[in-house]
Amino acid sequence: MPSASPRPYASWNAVLPPAALVALAGVWGRDLPTALVAAVAVVLGGAVLAAVHHAEVVSHRVGEPFGSLVLAVAVTVIEVALIVTLIVSGGPETASLARDTVFAAVMITCNGILGLSLFVTARREHVAVFNAEGTGAALATVATLATLTLVLPTFTTSEPGPEFSPAQLAFAAVASLVLYGSFVATQTVRHRDFFLPVRQGEVSAEDEHADPPTARAAAGSLGLLVVALVAVVGLAKVLSPAIESGVAAAGFPASFVGVVIALLVLLPETLAAVRAARRGLVQTSLNLALGSAMASIGLTIPVIALASVWLEGPLVLGLEATQMVLLALTVVVGVLTVVPGRATRLQGATHLVLMAAFMFLAVSP
């Protein structure tokens, strides 16, 4: 965990978020030449690293599971704003952007982040140990949310195509909020102990006794975290034309844009989860991974449902057959991984292979 330095702001971690925000203001709405695109990408990477640092400071102050919840919700709220902005400015061709981005977020978190966290921890500790009760409840909630919002639209008949009718979309939005709210209450109030890290190895013990930052330092880091995340998502929006051009030039499907956006937005959570896993705090990593997947669905769908009142054109939410197979396999493998409360490098590698399959099929459907 980050130390409680008496001068927490005299570092690049404090300078980069506002600098990235200034850079965002300077390039917003402009057509960028190649050199400037590269410079924006560098600033974006710096903002991601700063966001991870400040998320760890906040997490150390408030403890688990509140720390991972803060980062997951902060990233998702801004991700939703990015999706809505792109849909509004993109027209009919962005009808499936919300589906593509949310599904990509689920695959990245439940296979990429989860698999990498398990692999890193098991490689160091031989076996990754976590709370099966809390992790299983999180996975069950993610599976239910994904099925209600991304699978059912493919099979409903009230609207042509993989779309919800207005009433069905409203139900899915309310159900998503109820499920997400119930999980947060369970995670933070009723059964918080199910989501606390399991002490594993000497690193966890040392980490547990590190001095937490002061309330002032944590509040400053929370503000800088929000600034950094705004900059990350804003710069991702600025880079989106270049991303779309690059995807088209490479001959990839247009839906791959949603994958790239999800990868960029989830970078802070990925790095934070891996750093926690390297310290043996795999439960924190799992809280981040599954919490992010849950927040991505539970917050995005209600906002998209509300925005659909004034958005024109169709809203495609239903997954295609290949995507549904990947989702089903992810849930089955996830259950088998979570139930024992212990995982080896094999389980981590299995989820990483599923992540690779998702990426490959997104490029070559």
297 inside domain: yes
Residues in the chain with pLDDT values less than 70 = 1-10, 62-65, 67-68, 71, 78, 88-93, 199-211
CATH number of the domain bearing residue 42: 1.20.1420.30
Say how far apart CA 112 and CA 349 lie, in whole Å.
10
What pLDDT does residue 88 have?
67
Q: Kindly report the pTM of this predicted structure.
A: 0.80
Q: Looking at the domain assignment, is residue 207 inside a domain?
A: yes
- Cα–Cα distance measured from residue 134 to residue 294, given in angstroms and rounded to the nearest whole number: 13
Q: Could you tell me if residue 2 is inside a domain?
A: no
Residue 343, SS3?
strand
The DSSP output letter for 94 is G
User: Has residue 337 been placed in a domain?
Assistant: yes
Domains of the chain: total: 1
The boundaries of the domain holding residue 343 are 12-363
Q: Is residue 16 part of a domain?
A: yes
Residue 7 lies in a domain: no
Instruction: Determine the pLDDT at residue 7.
Output: 43
| 5 domain residue, yes or no | no
| Residue 155: CB atoms within 10 Å | 9
6 occurs within a structural domain: no
Average pLDDT, the chain: 82
